[in-house]
Structure 1
Amino acid sequence: MSKETIFFNRPYMTGKELDYIAQAKFGNMLAGDGPFTKRCHRWLEAQTGSNKALLTHSCTAALEMTALLLDIQPGDEVILPSYTFVSTANAFVLRGAVPVFVDVRPDTLNLDERLIEAAITPRTKAIVPVHYAGVACEMDEILAIARKHGLAVVEDAAQGVMSTYKGRALGSIGDLGAFSFHETKNVISGEGGALLVNDPALALRAEIIREKGTDRSRFFRGEVDKYTWQEVGSSFLPGEMTAAFLWAQLEEAQAITNRRLALWDNYHAALATLERQGALRRPIVPENCQHNAHMYYVILAPGVERQAVLEELKRHAIYAVFHYVPLHSSPGGLRYGRVQGSMEVTDGYSERLLRLPMWLGLTHEHQEQVVGVLGDALAKA
């Protein structure tokens, strides 16, 4: 009998997506900022407490908007972790800025707030904490450093929808925040993202930048008699069918999160023995953080050959993956950025991190199989 394939990820559908897409189609409103977009905006603002939420066609687009909103200029510096997706750096490199890579904490793999001040120079404009795996960075410390030095804080909360830090929604704590609704995330629209504008002074400009640099949004609200080009911008809106799909997901966001947390907790309990044996380390979630179970990863013990473990899992039709190649050691990072201090944690943990299958529809039997094969693979390794 052939083994059932356990995929790394399978996009989850609530069942309402196609109905809402049909409603958008028959409503003859397919471009951006239609009724479904507005519903999503209201939901995001209510859920996060952000001053303004704006859907974008990707989290990458939302991050690019933050660089425009902060008027990032060539030669400016932006502090961020190296252990993140390329969009975190690209958004600022596109404006001519220099990403300054700082090491991550060994517990959460988030930007190490203790290393930030040493990276600040007269050219520094912003700090960009990335909430890895939906677990919050130490935001109070980061905000205090930013206030002390007059810097902006942009939260890359791509993985952080429905996560909180001391009761505050991720993405709503800094000056600006960015969400992702990519199909690999918890709440999805295929591609898609959102910008959270928490500084009210930036809200109107955010609308203008998102609408190709025009005041089109004000025109449709009746605040001006025509819309015109106001400043540099681009087309960052998603279509209404994307928003309709997303609305079906946002309606079920809490239920989705609860079900994922149950899967995460099951992995966590099942892997405790392997951790006690020293074969791996499980994720660490600080007490003041409520995560969203975006992913379940383990840190393999030093000396374990990760590729051999991955191949053994694949031999049993289990598809696990590693994660980022650190930006500072990538060709683009070497070309456009600079490193501040040691990158010991980033370099070491990036080579030992292994992500396990995690998606709604995964059963406890699937998880038992994953943990069992992983244990056997580690024993061989």
Structure 2
Amino acid sequence: MSLAATVRLVSTEFIGCDILFMKRRATLEEIAIEQLNGDQIIPFNRVYLTGKEQEYFSDVLKQKELACNGRYTQKVQDWLKGRLGTNGAFLTGAGTLALEMAALLLDLAPGDEVIMPSFTFVTTASAFVRAGATPVFVDINAETMNIDVAQVEKAISSKTKAIVPVHYAGVGCDMDALQKLAKKHSLALVEDAAHGILATYKDRYLGTIGDIGILSFHETKNVVGGEAGALLINNEKYLTKARQLWHKGTNKHDMELGLVGRYTWTELGSAFAASEITASVVWAQIEKATEIVEMRKAAWQRYYEMLTPLAQTGHIALPHVPKDCVQNGHIFYFLTQSKTIRDELIQHLKKDKIESVFHYIPLHSSPAGRKYGKCHGQLSTTDSASER
């Protein structure tokens, strides 16, 4: 079966849970071939809706609860704390806002450095630049596409204040090694788990292992809210300040607890919290998070099995998931032999009405990356992977 037919077959089985409602008038292979010859476009991303989004959204409008910190926000935050096992969870208007909160929690100053991969989305870096720090880009591991721990260790200096591992495609970084480095050098460990909802490393959920973690509920993620995210506080020393930042820089939480009569300005916060409209959609998704992740993992496994012959002949390299990790089916990626082949494949799939994209243009090669950040060592693996 061709690559295009494989994509259509797997999408027929899993994307949007169509298979749950499909009349079995033909085999899945026949349906895939029929779609391949038809006009149906297979998008890069298709949001899975649980069926409760409109109901909860309408409830918010009916109750006229439109601002932040209402019933649905509390439901989401309670679920995150209870299910993931974190000390604090704050629903934000975007994963980017959660990253910006994390950066503010560290009390960074000009000259401070934060180590992170160059192979990541731009806001992993920009959040810390906004807080005054300099991103130090290091290379990734060729097998996992995650930050190379050996390169992190070499990049640590007297200016280093934090390490920011990014769990690419919902596959956990080597958190044991990173925790040891952070402890040895008294550094904060901030997990960018934007891809990582319900994925685990050694039976611990991504985003709950470091001092601070963030999740994303962007439209392209497993659990969606349009634009939404969450800040996870695992080290209690950051909890009070996180609450104040989330409450726009005030001690309003203390007033709600009856500890003060009136609230006042205490921190340099902002409008980080998500509205109840957003929270209602996230809650509809969160209720079915386990089912959504299992569906995506099944699709991921089908792709892996059906593309293995191409990997065995050396045409592509498939994802590697370390034995200590359980991935969540967020992204299925593979590497081609060269940029030329990758670009030709994208165009070939486009002709077959299949959308495909590549990750990422490395931050160290971007105009803003060169202006605000710096590299440590040669990032040859990052450069190679980004082109394939």
- State the match for 2:13 in structure 1: none
* TM-score of the aligned structures, taking structure 2 as reference length: 0.89
- Aligned twin of 1:170: 206
Which residue type is aligned with residue 282 of structure 1?
L
Q: Quick check: 1:48 aligned with 2:84?
A: yes
Residue aligning to 2:304: 268
Q: Which residue of 1 aligns with 2:345?
A: 309
Distance 1:72 1:293 in 2: 34
Alpha-carbon separation, structure 2, partners of 1:80 and 1:333: 12
For residue 54 of structure 2, what is the aligned residue in structure 1?
A: 18
Tell me, yes or no, if structure 1 residue 252 matches structure 2 residue 295: no
In structure 2, what is the equivalent of residue 62 of structure 1?
98
2:385 maps to 1:349: yes
Cα pair 1:102 1:115 within 8 Å, conserved: yes
Distance 1:257 1:212 in 2: 33
Q: Which amino acid aligns with 1:174?
A: G
Asked if structure 2 preserves the Cα contact closer than 8 Å seen for 1:63 and 1:91, the reply is: yes
SS in structure 2 opposite 1:104? coil
Q: Which runs of 5+ in 2 are unaligned?
A: 1-36
User: How many Å separate the matches in 2 of 1:210 and 1:10?
Assistant: 31
Q: Is the 8 A contact 1:3 1:316 kept in 2?
A: no
Partner of 2:8: none
What SS class does the counterpart of residue 76 from structure 2 fall into? helix
Q: Once the two structures are superposed, what CA deviation does each residue of 1:228-284 show, in whole Å capped at 9, x if it has no partner?
A: 001211110110011011000000000001111110010000000000110001100
- Measured in 2, the distance between the counterparts of 1:136 and 1:26 equals 41
State the shift of 1:304 in Å.
Answer: 4.7
Say whether the 8 Å CA contact 1:125–1:151 is kept in structure 2.
yes
Q: Report the CA distance between 1:303 and its aligned residue.
A: 6.7
Where 2:334 maps in the other structure, the secondary structure is: strand
Mapping for residues 105-184 of structure 1, pairs under 5 Å: 105-184=141-220
Q: In the alignment, which residue of structure 1 is the partner of 2:44? A: 8
Q: Which amino acid aligns with 2:50?
A: T
| Aligned mates of 2:193, 2:363 — CA distance in 1 | 18
**Cα pair 2:338 2:387 within 8 Å, conserved:** no
Q: Which one-letter code corresponds to 1:4 in the other structure?
A: Q
State the identity as a percent: 48
Shift of 1:211: 1.4
Question: Considering only aligned residues, what root-mean-square deviation do their CA atoms show, in Å?
Answer: 1.0
| Letter of the structure 1 residue corresponding to residue 154 of structure 2 | A
TM-score (norm 1): 0.91
Question: Which 4+ residue blocks in structure 1 deviate beyond 4 angstroms?
Answer: none
Per-residue CA shift, 1:117-163, capped at 9, x if unaligned? 11011110000000000000000000000000000000000000010
State the secondary structure of the residue aligned to 1:317: coil
Q: Distance in 1 between matches of 2:149 and 2:196?
A: 18
Does structure 1 residue 218 correspond to structure 2 residue 254? yes
1:297 and 1:200 mapped to 2: Cα distance? 36
Matched, 1:298 2:326: no
The one-character-per-residue Cα deviations of 1:150-206 (angstroms, maximum 9, x if unpaired) are: 000000000000100000000000000000000000000000000001111111110
**2:312, 2:83 → 1: CA distance?**
38
Inter-partner Cα distance in structure 2 for 1:27 and 1:225 = 27
2:233 is the alignment partner of 1:197: yes
Q: Secondary structure at the match of 1:280?
A: coil
Cα gap change, 1:170 to 1:303, in 2 (>3 Å): closer
